[in-house]
Amino acid sequence: MTEIPLHQHIAPSGEQMTVRDLASCPPPDRWHDWVEYDAKAWPRKVEKHYEIIPTICFNCEAACGLLAYIDKQTGRVKKFEGNPYHPGSRGRNCAKGPATINQVNDPERILYPLRRVGRRGGGTWERTTWDEVLDTFASKIRAAIIEGRRDEVMYHVGRPGHDGYMERVLGAWGVDGHNSHTNVCSSSARFGYQIWCGADRPSPDHANARFILLISSHLETGHYFNPQAQRIIEGKMKGAKLAVMDPRLSNTASMADYWLPTWPGSEAAVLLAMARIILVEKLYNREFMRRWVNWQDYVAAEHPGEPQTFDRFIELLLDLYAEYTPAFAAQESGLAEETIVEIARQIGHAGTAFAAHTWRAATAGNLGGWQVSRALWFLSVLTGSIGTPGGTALNTWNKFVPAPFMKPGPSEVWNELLFPPEYPLANYEMSILLPYFLREGRGKLAAYFTRVYNPVWTNPDGTAWIEMLANEQQVELHAALTPVWSETAWYADYVLPMGVGSERHDLMSQETHAARWIGFRQPVLRVYKEGNGEPVTHTYQANPGEVWEEDEFWIELSWRIDPDGSLGIRKYFESPYHPGQKLTIEEYYRWIFENSVPGLPEAAAKENLSPLEYMRKYGCFEIPQEKVPVYTLNERELKPAELESSQLDERGGKITRSGAAIGVTIDGKAYEGFQTPSRKLEFYSATLKEWGWPEYAVPGYIRSHVHRSVINPERGEYLLIPTFRLPTLIHTRSGNAKWLYEISNANPVWIHPTDAERIGVQTGDLVRVTTEIGYYVNRAWITDGIRPGVVACSHHLGRWRLETGQGAERWASALVSLGRDQEGMWHMRHLQDVQPFESDDPDSSRIFWREGGVHQNLTFAVHPDPVSGMHCWHQKVTVEQAHPEDAYGDVYVDTHKACQVYQDWLAMTRPQAQRSDGLRRPLWMIRPYRPAASAFKRQ
Ligand code: SF4
């Protein structure tokens, strides 16, 4: 056995591997029979033979590459390691990647489809067949489609794990039924980006940056954790400076040159102060601003009597942001004035090599949090670092989503349960308000799928979700598609076990760096069996028990909804190679690889492989940049043929055809520009003005609902940050990963020593944290890693179950009592904390942790931002010593107060139902599943 140093390897693209510091890795030509010595046999040298098959991690959205080592003797997966050929992760994974093996072998996993017996939530289940499941749902959905109830079919997803597959399914069914978790996650950050540039995610080129500014820790503890984290460090090793704005000393902040523990919600004030310094000190990129900002629109609309010149625009900017002095920003944030000035200058000097990112955190915590991402992007615009080497690109420039065969047209339906009239600009579906909308009689659900989604546990006001799911008039039929038990699955009619990351097909691409790549998640045991001559027609034949993969579930279900093709659905699920026959999952991906991925057929041919064989072999492919470039795509010049029959708007240079913007003319040349109404970067948003928010037409600062002025620690009041992630846990999907729970198994309340002294608690003491609708009891952790006046509690932990042996993974959950008193108040109490248990895995009897955390989200009311629709997570709370009757894990919720808070926040909206154009939403704004333009208009 000889390990070949990695630097001798040639990557699939033909280039020498750039991975520098992986000492060794099996070369692909030996993946079919890789030999290692059996560590347990030491000191004897006993050979173990493995087949290595690549797949993609499913434990966050970064889609890193994994290599599954399949033991040829047992036919089982032995371990997962990183795939060095994966362009995003380059062979490195976080702890969650290798922990996939725990999920495969978890003795608690569900292996067969289950149907409830008795009332919903009663906890009695029986095994059923997939045939029965498919027939039940097919007849329900078919009836809804035939009877024109196309808004009663809903697919509600937590972690999608694929690009475009479900949108195709829902499009084929002709329903507007895509719902997501995004308005508890990132819709606010997305809105701030979208309103500027038309794309709703940033893609920083950290490795080539000179200065990096991150708002929150999410790059290193969640969002694209590993691929971006490694490039941040790469940038630092080349001399870049790193600043992290986060009230909590996160892992990321601990690596920073500047830790900026701002008061939560003040971030936009600090960023605008930095913008003003860059303007005052003339550090901005004048030429980029002149060419690419829609300054003409701003001056014309807001200052029609002024000279319509760029110089006057800059003067107006200085007036507009005059109040954002370092002193003002310091007063709002608690940072030192000198620090704000110093960082602003460093950003200005970094110029086009300034990389910046924000996600969740400040944007997700605060009323008006979307102004944080908008203000951050303003710094990128000022420095001209949009899509440059070392700058920040649009996600659409660094991501590649290949088209499938036969893409269905958009549906003609608009579902107001998803996009109601009160939130015309909501960046994503108003997911958290679904229980309230159903309760108000705005609709009902005939068939409801939750998929890798646990709203009872994850969403604010989880008891409203319990009430909704238990109501068979509001939700007639509910299936939870999940590899594991969850609090939500408990209230389903069917629990349908789906494969974990190495047991399914998916195609993914993410904007991890300045490149475009696709990753192919594949069921490794199926590939192994097929490679060894064992015929497999469906993935469940290779998975444990009767665990399916979703791709095949949707194909089967679609055929049963439309068995004779008369509804026009079946044709999308017929083979592109054998007309009339049922599509196989292999054919679906084969067609994409053969037809939709530039450069892949050629790369495969060089190795005498078909494109599908190439993807099965390597699990990933990087699109050559000569085929699809990645930097400054706004500068692409339009060809004469593209300009035929177009019109030019002389003032701003917009080029239109049939009323739709197709490009922009600057200094006499026609460019593609950005996907905005003006095709420029929209400092001035006519959209916000026209849709009811004129005061927000330009980047600004909105005082958060948890502004410093409303919180007085002397009265026991604090600002609770409930959003932060632990780098080793996966939202509510880590309970089946024993290694991860061994590392992180409690979520104490972080309290600064000065606050702890005031409250009178020490580390380990119980505290009662009271929100506007209830309270929870947890332990205190006293630390300097949080700024005074702010407390924090990680959102991962506190899983619970209502039965001894099922309902949530016993590695991670407490057995609780949960019920309502006569006044309708909900109470939860731990009956038994985490305990060792007997199973096939001897480790389950070695569990040493007991208190598995406290479920805090139940005590939060909904706070939908009136513009972006995002749930604003931060809470004004009181923190005090626990009362004598309190016990660890106690939760109390007043649902009457929860309803009142919903009404209070709803009253902040400005519905646009009476528009003369009849539009429900600006036509140019993206939607995750986009219906036809006609559906945007009220009939
Ligand atoms: S960063 Fe995400 S995708 Fe990558 S190994 Fe970790 S959990 Fe898996």
Give residue 101 CA to ligand 1 midpoint distance, Å.
Answer: 13
Half-sphere exposure of 136 (CA within 13 A, CB side): 16
How much distance in Å is there from the Cα of 57 to the middle of ligand 1? 6
With a CB cutoff of 8 Å and minimum separation 6, the contacts of 77 are 68, 69, 70, 71, 101, 104, 502, 524, 525
Is the bond into 420 cis (omega within 30 degrees of 0)?
no
Separation of 716 CA from ligand 1 center, angstroms?
39
What is the pLDDT confidence band of residue 221, given thresholds at 50, 70 and 90? Answer: low
| The pLDDT value given to residue 287 | 98
**pLDDT (0 to 100) of residue 18:** 44
Question: What's the CA-to-centroid distance between 727 and ligand 1, angstroms?
Answer: 10
* Ligand 1 atom showing the smallest separation from residue 94 Cα: 6
Q: Is the pLDDT of residue 587 over 50?
A: yes
Q: How far is the CA of 502 from the centre of ligand 1 (A)?
A: 13
Distance CA 501, CA 495 (A): 18
- Residue 627's pLDDT is 86
pLDDT above 50 (res 2): no
Quote the pTM value.
0.96
The amino acid at residue 199 is: A
Instruction: Check pocket membership of 181 for ligand 1, CB cut-off 6 A.
Output: no
| 353 C-beta closer than 6 A to ligand 1 | no
CB 423 within 8 A of CB 909: yes
Query: Which stretch of 7-11, 147-151, 365-369 has the lowest confidence by average pLDDT?
Result: 7-11
Mutate to test the pocket of ligand 1, among 61, 80, 94 (most ligand atoms within 8 A of CB): 94
Q: CB of 94 closer than 6 A to ligand 1?
A: yes
Query: What pLDDT, on the 0 to 100 scale, is given for residue 21?
Result: 45
Helices (H) then strands (E): counts for the chain: 27, 34
- Lowest mean pLDDT segment, chosen from 51-55, 160-164, 897-901: 160-164
Task: Report in angstroms the alpha-carbon separations of 442 from 143, 428, 435, 439.
Answer: 20, 19, 10, 8
Q: Is the pLDDT of residue 848 over 90?
A: yes
Q: Between the CA of residue 733 and those of 103, 188, 728, 742, what are the distances in Å?
A: 9, 24, 11, 15
Decide whether any atom of ligand 1 lies within 6 Å of the 96 Cβ. yes
pLDDT of residue 868: 98
- Please tell me the distance between residue 360's alpha carbon and the centre of ligand 1 in angstroms: 18
Contact 508, 129 (CB under 8 A): no
* C-beta separation of 82 from 93 below 8 A: yes
- What is the predicted pLDDT for the residue at 223? 65
Amino acid sitting at position 906: L
Note the pLDDT tens digit of each residue in 779-830. 999 999 999 999 999 988 999 999 998 899 999 999 999 999 988 899 999 9
Length of the chain: 939
Half-sphere exposure of 79 (CA within 13 A, CB side): 11
* CA 732 to ligand 1 center in whole angstroms: 15
Q: How confident is the model over 522-537, as a mean pLDDT?
A: 97
Condensed to tens digits (0 to 9), the pLDDT of residues 461-512 reads 999 999 999 999 999 999 999 988 999 999 999 999 999 999 999 999 999 9
Atom of ligand 1 nearest to the CA of 63: 3
Mean pLDDT of the chain, nearest integer: 94
* More confident site: 441 or 224: 441
Going from the Cα of 228 to the center of ligand 1, the distance in angstroms, rounded, reads 11
Task: Give residue 222's pLDDT band: very low, low, confident or very high (50, 70, 90).
Answer: low
* CA of 59, closest atom in ligand 1: 7
Distance from residue 103's CA to the centre of ligand 1 (Å): 14
Query: Could you tell me the distance, in angstroms and rounded to a whole number, from the CA of residue 519 to the centre of ligand 1?
Result: 13
Q: How many angstroms separate the alpha carbon of residue 730 from the centre of ligand 1?
A: 10
- Sorted by sequence, the CB contacts under 8 Å of residue 62 that are 6+ apart come out as 88, 89, 223, 224, 225, 226, 227, 228, 510, 512
698: left (phi > 0), else alpha (psi -120 to 50), else beta? beta
List the structure tokens of 427: 């960046």
Instruction: For ligand 1, atom 6, name the residue with the nearest CA.
Output: 94
Contact 571, 407 (CB under 8 A): no
Evaluate if residue 445 carries a pLDDT over 90.
Answer: yes
Residue 15 pLDDT greater than 80, yes or no: no
CB of 66 sitting under 6 A from ligand 1: no
The set of residues, in sequence order, having a beta carbon less than 8 Å from that of 904 and lying 6+ positions away, is: none
Q: Which residue has the CA at smallest separation from atom 1 of ligand 1?
A: 226
Which atom of ligand 1 lies nearest, measured to the CA of 93?
A: 5
Give the model confidence (pLDDT) of 410-435 as tens digits: 999 999 999 999 999 999 999 999 99
Any atom of ligand 1 within 6 Å of the Cβ of 366: no
| DSSP secondary structure letters along 584-644 | PHHHHHHHHHHHSSTTHHHHHHHTT--HHHHHHHHSEEEPPTTTS--S-GGGPBPPGGGGT
Q: 55, 60, 102: which to mutate for ligand 1, most atoms within 8 A of CB?
A: 60
Q: What angle do CA 469, 470, 472 make, to 5 degrees?
A: 90
Is residue 330 helix, strand or coil? helix
The predicted structure's pLDDT at residue 1: 35
Sheet holding 506-508, edge to edge: 506-508, 517-521, 620-622
Q: How far is the CA of 455 from the centre of ligand 1 (A)?
A: 23
Note whether 363 and 369 are within 8 A (CB): yes
Q: Is 63 close to ligand 1, i.e. is its CB under 6 Å away?
A: yes
E strand intervals along 752-825: 766-770, 774-782, 790-792, 799-801, 813-820
Task: Report which ligand 1 atom has the smallest distance to the Cα of 56.
Answer: 3
